[in-house]
Structure 1
Amino acid sequence: MKKTFEQALDELESIVKRLEEGDMPLEESLELFERGVRLSRDCRDRLEKAERRIEMLTKDPSGEIRLEPISLDEE
């Protein structure tokens, strides 16, 4: 089962913390680094796809992207 974006980001943050501590053998560090790179690419790809979807949803009938403020107030 594929992780959600949030799960992947949490795992990536955990990997970064472990690598920053530097208390592991070189091979384990390399494996973690590789996993982190894969997670980073996956997260970036998902964000880019979400951005494209938002752009598609915000285009007006002429194809121009409309920028509208997002209200943070919940009424």
Structure 2
Amino acid sequence: MATKEPSFEEQLAQLQQIVNQLEQGNTPLEEALEQFQTGIKLAKSLQNKLTSAEKTLGHLIDDAGNERVYENNTDDPSNNGGGNRGFGSGDSVKG
């Protein structure tokens, strides 16, 4: 029987535990390196899950069953996929 992949929350808790242990600074070097590598793998897995969830939430299904894009998607992580909102959106302030 195949093993079930840990949930997002379980992986996040494991990553936090690793970070806490490494921050204490009393872990032997070899073990710290193993934990660091495990932490990197967990962080990549968590990022992939977040990216997938973001893509899913960026689409809506209308009453006719057609998929609609909810927000303008962008590869710019600084605006969280929100398109041109806020400062620098091209709106000028007149005083």
Q: Give the TM-score category using the shorter length.
A: 0.7 to 0.9
Identity %: 34
1:53 to 52, 56, 60: 56
Structure number with higher strand proportion: 2
TM-score normalized by the length of structure 2: 0.61
Greater RCO, CA 8 A, separation 6+: 1
When normalised by structure 1's length, the TM-score is 0.76
CA 1:44/1:58 → structure 2, altered by over 3 Å: closer, same or farther? farther
- State how far apart, in whole Å, the 2-side matches of 1:18 and 1:50 are: 29
Give the alignment partner of residue 28 of structure 1, picking from 25, 31, 50: 31
Q: Of the two, which has the highest radius of gyration?
A: 2
User: After TM superposition, where is structure 1 displaced by more than 4 Å over at least 4 residues in a row?
Assistant: 61-64
Which ranges of structure 1 fall in alignment gaps of 5 or more residues? 67-75
2:42 is aligned, of 28, 39, 42, to: 39
Aligned residues: 65
* Greater share of helix: 1
